[in-house]
Amino acid sequence: MPLLRPEGLVCGVDEAGRGPLAGPVVAAAVILDPANPVEGLNDSKKLSAKRRELLAIEIRAKALAWAVAEATVEEIDAINILQASMLAMQRAVEALNVRPTSALIDGNRCPSLACKADAVVGGDGKVESIAAASILAKTARDAGMRELHAVYPQYGFDRHMGYPTALHLQALREHGASPVHRRSFSPVAQLMLL
């Protein structure tokens, strides 16, 4: 089934990195150009890493506007991951150099925005601009986690991107939490009590 292409200056918004134990949560907002379509858009989780990277380059080249923003580990720990995700989405929409008339947000909640916003459950698999946002958010976050890997190689961030894999949990037990670990997340918090 082809993804929907809403009319007007509609930005799609999605985030990456709600579940990991480390690193920021990253959001992207994208206003696609109907006259310059990007073929092959889909939910970033359904694409290979190589395909995501290629599509991200094409999206940045062809979109009318795009922006990526994040909420830090400190913000996640202070206000919780849901609120931090909303904050990152809000920052991404505010950073667009073209003002959208409305926003379509992946999920069941919307951040507070200056324009009309509607939540679309499973939107990254239904709406082209949300799919594009999911690709930009995921590729930007993965690049950031590879940079953190260079600083903290003992955790293997380049392999699991901060998600709670067996490898990551073992590294946490061996090395303790780094400054980029989310201390409010249960596996990290429990480890810090030991």
Write the CA distances from 102 to 9, 80, 137, 159, 164, integer angstroms.
7, 26, 19, 36, 35
pLDDT for the residue 5:
67
pLDDT for the residue 102:
96
pLDDT digits (tens, 9 = 90+) for 17-26: 999 999 999 9
Mean pLDDT of the chain: 94
- For residue 1, is pLDDT > 70? no
Q: Are 29 and 66 in contact (CB under 8 A)?
A: yes
pLDDT digits (tens, 9 = 90+) for 78-130: 999 999 999 999 999 999 999 999 999 999 999 999 999 999 999 999 999 99
CA distance 93 to 34: 19
CATH class of 10-150: alpha beta
pLDDT digits (tens, 9 = 90+) for 24-60: 999 999 999 999 999 999 989 999 999 999 999 999 9
